[in-house]
Amino acid sequence: MKIKRDFLSGPKRSVSALLAAAIVFLSFSAVRVISVNAASSNSNDDVAKHEDRIEEIKREQERIRNEIANLSDSIDDLMKEKAYYDSLVELSDEKIAEAELLVEAMRARSQQYADDIKKKQDEQAQLYEDIKERMVVSYESGGTFASYLEVLFDAESIMDFLIGIENAANLMRYDTLLMNEQKRLEKELDEAKQAHDKSLADEEAVLAALETDREENDRLSAQNASLIDNAMKDLEEREEIQKKLDEEEERENKEIEELIEKIIKQREEERKAEESRKAEESRKAEESRKAEESRRLEESRKAEESKNEAGSGGAAEETTGAPETTSPEPPEDGKVTYLWPLDEKYTNITSRFGYRKDPFGSGKTTYHSGTDIYAPKGAKIYAGRAGKVVISKKSSSYGNYIMIDHGDGIFTLYAHCNKLISKVGDYVEQGQVIAEVGATGHVTGTHLHLEVRIGTERVDALDYFTVPKG
């Protein structure tokens, strides 16, 4: 905006002209700020719209990945996984398209900032010319203060004097307005440059992420295309691994059965030996009793004969025979109780005894010899009954496991332990901590595998262990 030299040169200029100049100046500034801010706001709205959609896509992709992570290796879940990967590829395509639109919006925003900077620089240059011209006028008038005095002292009447005061005040306000406008323009120009630099940096970051997204999209597409083929190959490998594990489990179970048979045979031999010992003791006791009875009868006969010979004619003493004996009372036939092997808050049965769908993804129906109870790693495992630990070892199928002989032909087994505490030969009381829950051996997660065996036969543990009520 040009400020004419004659407009500021003397006391005869009109106040309305000064006011008109100030109003025009202010109105121009307001319109300029509003138009620039509106343009910047539109650009930022476009950028924000695409950024919000990209974040929504990321959240949806993360949700699908979590779903995939929770799938098993079964054939059914394989088809679900394929559908999930289809969705991931579609979302990846949409994310790339949104990123490309975001780059365009950022470039438009950066150009808007550049245009804004150019306008501010032009305005700053024009304002500088206005200030410079005002300084020239002030100099020619003897300085700013002198020009103010000139307005006052050139008055020819009281009315001219009052008008001069108002004109001087208008000059001062106008000069202040020019200085403030200069400061505002400098601040806005600095902010516009910073916004422009940030917009360019954001654009570079989005371009780098876009390149990564394209690479990820290629990887997902290739993985999706080969998913079924790879899964079938994996399935064949898993079946081979499962076969080896089944063989190992069969060998382990055979060793357990042989040990149980050995214990039962040994216990039977000990029982028979005890019975033989007791029978021998009874026979000897009976022979001793009979010998004692014969001795007493002989003594009694001899005494009777002596009396008869003596002619006493008295009656013979009554003999009592063997002392009276009582048989021991049989033990009370109480029902044996089993203590829940975990803290009572862990009652979630994840797999029951009997036939079930193979949890390792073969799609087959397999026999489950125990009861699986969920508990976190490190949870304490308690002996269900008192007894002697006959196994405390590690195998590829059971992992770390313990078996207790309860002495009546019943055995309890606790498998997949993280840590074994009791050792072979230990006598443990009911409720004693014998191990900790883990995920060792052939498992899909942390839990306790509990078995009950009557002799070599495996039975449902829940027929013996009662699940605690909430």
Whether residue 118 lies inside any domain: the answer is yes
Higher pLDDT, 418 or 315: 418
Residue 319's pLDDT is what? Answer: 36
Find the CATH number of the domain harbouring 401: 2.70.70.10
Of 239, 273, 302, which residue is a domain's last?
A: 239
The parent domain of residue 432 ranges over 349-463
Domain identity same for 208 and 75? yes
Residue 47 has pLDDT above 60, yes or no: yes
Whether residue 260 lies inside any domain: the answer is no
When pLDDT is cut at 50, 70 and 90, the band that residue 450 belongs to is: very high
- The helix or strand, by DSSP H or E, that contains position 252, with its residue range, turns out to be helix 158-309
Residue 345's pLDDT is what? Answer: 93
Phi/psi region, residue 409 (left: phi>0; alpha: psi -120 to 50; beta: rest), is left
Whether residue 447 lies inside any domain: the answer is yes
Residue 361's pLDDT is what? Answer: 54
Domain identity same for 39 and 172? yes
Most confident by average pLDDT, 111-115, 208-212, 398-402, 429-433? 429-433
Domain identity same for 230 and 354? no
pTM of the shown model = 0.44
Residue 325 has pLDDT above 70, yes or no: no
Q: How far apart are CA 464 and CA 470, in angstroms?
A: 19
Each residue of 158-211: pLDDT tens digit?
A: 666 666 666 666 666 767 777 777 777 778 778 878 878 887 888 888 888 878
Whether residue 300 lies inside any domain: the answer is no
Q: How far apart are CA 88 and CA 82, in angstroms?
A: 10
Residue 431 has pLDDT above 90, yes or no: yes
Average pLDDT, the chain: 75
Q: Closest Cα to residue 65, out of 89, 82, 84?
A: 84
Residue 200's pLDDT is what? Answer: 83
When pLDDT is cut at 50, 70 and 90, the band that residue 228 belongs to is: low
The whole-number average pLDDT for the span 394-399 is: 84
Find the CATH number of the domain harbouring 77: 1.20.1050
Neighbour-count burial of 50, counting CB atoms closer than 10 A to its CB (0-12 exposed, 13-18 middle, 19+ buried) = buried
Of 218, 239, 260, which residue is a domain's last?
A: 239
Please state, in angstroms and as integers, the Cα–Cα distance from residue 79 to each residue in 139, 224, 237, 314, following that order: 88, 11, 19, 111
Domain identity same for 224 and 357? no
Residue 389's pLDDT is what? Answer: 95
The whole-number average pLDDT for the span 274-300 is: 84
Whether residue 272 lies inside any domain: the answer is no
Whether residue 386 lies inside any domain: the answer is yes
Higher pLDDT, 2 or 227: 227
Number of domains in the chain: 2
Higher pLDDT, 422 or 444: 422
Whether residue 278 lies inside any domain: the answer is no
Whether residue 135 lies inside any domain: the answer is yes
Give me 349's structure tokens. 């049965």
Of 239, 263, 287, which residue is a domain's last?
A: 239
